[in-house]
């Protein structure tokens, strides 16, 4: 019974590693290919691309500033402008913060 459980666990870890390897760029793949477990890969990617709390807060500040500086150009349509603003909002939410936009 324990052998079956070990086999399933190894199989799941191999699948998870394969998913990571398939979903990253070649440049990133060469950095993570030596890591043994999906947890090690996840921790590496999280540290490398999300950063620490201070870095995330600086990214949020920069995104809020970018949001504040947005101006609609005459050549653009409202849909494009609104998509740009919503894109900035989504980036801020991914960093674990909130833009504090109230719907009208």
Per-residue confidence (pLDDT) for residue 70, from 0 to 100: 87
What average pLDDT does the chain have? 84
Query: Helices (DSSP H) in the chain: which residue ranges?
Result: 2-23, 26-32, 38-49, 53-69, 78-94
Cα dihedral 15→18→19→25 (10° resolution): 170
Per-residue confidence (pLDDT) for residue 104, from 0 to 100: 43
Query: Tens digits of per-residue pLDDT, 34-50?
Result: 998 999 998 888 887 77
Q: Are 56 and 88 in contact (CB under 8 A)?
A: no
Q: Where are the domains of the chain?
A: 2-49, 53-94
DSSP state of 15: H
pLDDT at 3 over 50: yes
Q: Are 28 and 67 in contact (CB under 8 A)?
A: no
Rounded average pLDDT over 97-101: 71
């Amino acid at each position: 019974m324990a052998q079956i459980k070990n086999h399933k666990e190894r199989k799941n870890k191999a699948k998870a590693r394969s998913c990571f390897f398939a979903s990253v760029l070649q440049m990133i793949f060469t950095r993570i290919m030596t890591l043994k477990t999906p947890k090690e890969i996840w921790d590496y990617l999280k540290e490398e691309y999300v950063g620490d709390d201070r870095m995330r807060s600086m990214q949020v500040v920069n995104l809020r500033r970018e949001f504040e500086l947005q101006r609609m150009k005459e050549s653009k349509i409202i849909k494009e402008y609104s998509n740009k603003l919503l894109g900035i909002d989504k980036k801020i939410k991914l960093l674990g913060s909130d833009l504090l936009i109230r719907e009208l």
